[in-house]
Amino acid sequence: MENKNKIFSIVLVLAMVIGTVALSGCTQETKNKIIVGTSADFPPFEYKATNQTIIGFDIDLIKKILTDQGYTVEVQDIGFDSLIPSLQTGKIDVIAAAMTIDDERMLQVDFSNPYYDSNQTVLVKVGAGVNITTIEDLKNYTVGAQTGTTGWDWVNDTLVATGKLNSDNFRSYDLYTDAVADLIIGPSRVGAVVIDSPVAQAFAKSGDVRIVLNITTNESYGFAVEKGNTELLTKINTGLSAVKATTYWEDLIEQYFAT
């Protein structure tokens, strides 16, 4: 009996030693690994290739910046509205999601230097008889946008809060790809989608949808890190300037934005 106990103790101690070694191995690895969170519904910045891998301008850019500095990068697809909470709870280290730098978000996260400029646009289905030439015309349709975005804020603040659009006619989507899919089904689902201009242009390439209005909002995208993570932020900013000074930057623009 005593012997059995001894053997049991030895096995237990061995298991603990092995466990500790294995765990420290993990922490060692995670220190060099950066988890990038995105919302892969926003071409050409982040979207799924036919084989389901996440690609896009933001993804290539942040991967280039971080791998050049010795990190390995893992990309996780998270709903846009959950990106900031995921950063705050340490589930991800960086947000790369065409996220507009704005005052409200700056209270919650730290942004890199801006890397791309954008405005908002109104997207409609081609041939659906949707007649929108001014902002006021939007009242005649159901208007869609992705929850948590600056496009959603614009519809809410400029149309719904001012009484120009009945709140019943404002449809919120978790994913912009779903909003555009509904747009293509037809105005019975959604008549117009308010969305960032470069992304509207990407969706319009299919020929199913087109831009009927431009809304000047003067937005700039930045990568976001947890508040106070200056070490990572400095690395991202340094890497961003370095990449911009090379032909990699022009090639990336050409690859994702050439018409």
Considering only 85-93, 97-105, 123-131, 242-250, which stretch makes contact with ligand GLN by CB under 6 A? 97-105
> For 83-107, b where at least 16 C-beta lie within 10 A, e where not — what string?
bbebbeeeebbbbbbbbbbeeebee
Kindly tell me which residue out of 100, 112, 121, 177 binds ligand GLN, with binding defined by CB under 6 A: 100
Question: Any idea what the Cα angle at residue 76 is, between residues 70 and 80, rounded to 5°?
Answer: 125
Sign of CA dihedral 61, 67, 69, 75: positive
| 215's tokens | 């809304």
Is the separation of the CB atoms in 179 and 146 below 8 Å?
yes
Kindly tell me which residue out of 112, 142, 146, 197 binds ligand GLN, with binding defined by CB under 6 A: 146
d(CA 84, CA 167): 26
Kindly tell me which residue out of 196, 197, 198, 226 binds ligand GLN, with binding defined by CB under 6 A: 196
Kindly tell me which residue out of 98, 192, 193, 209 binds ligand GLN, with binding defined by CB under 6 A: 98
- Minimum Å gap between C-beta 149 and ligand GLN is 3
> 59 Cβ partners below 8 Å, 6+ apart?
36, 38, 45, 46, 75, 96
Q: Is 180 in the site for ligand GLN (CB under 6 A)?
A: no
- Minimum Å gap between C-beta 99 and ligand GLN is 4
| Alpha-carbon 31 to chain mean position | 23
Q: Which is nearer to ligand GLN, 69 or 113 (CB)?
A: 113
Q: Is 217 in the site for ligand GLN (CB under 6 A)?
A: no
- Minimum Å gap between C-beta 219 and ligand GLN is 6
163, HSE (Cβ side, Cα atoms, 13 Å): 0
Is the separation of the CB atoms in 137 and 129 below 8 Å?
no
Q: Which is nearer to ligand GLN, 100 or 112 (CB)?
A: 100
Q: Is 201 in the site for ligand GLN (CB under 6 A)?
A: no
Per rule CB under 6 A, count of chain residues that contact ligand GLN: 13
| 165's tokens | 């659009």
- Minimum Å gap between C-beta 251 and ligand GLN is 23
SS3 for 17? Answer: helix
Give me the residue label for tokens 């209270």.
Answer: 107
Kindly tell me which residue out of 112, 121, 142, 150 binds ligand GLN, with binding defined by CB under 6 A: 150
Q: Is 197 in the site for ligand GLN (CB under 6 A)?
A: no
Residue type for position 41: D
Q: Is 61 in the site for ligand GLN (CB under 6 A)?
A: no
Residues that bind ligand GLN (CB under 6 A): 39, 42, 80, 97-100, 146, 149-150, 176, 196, 219
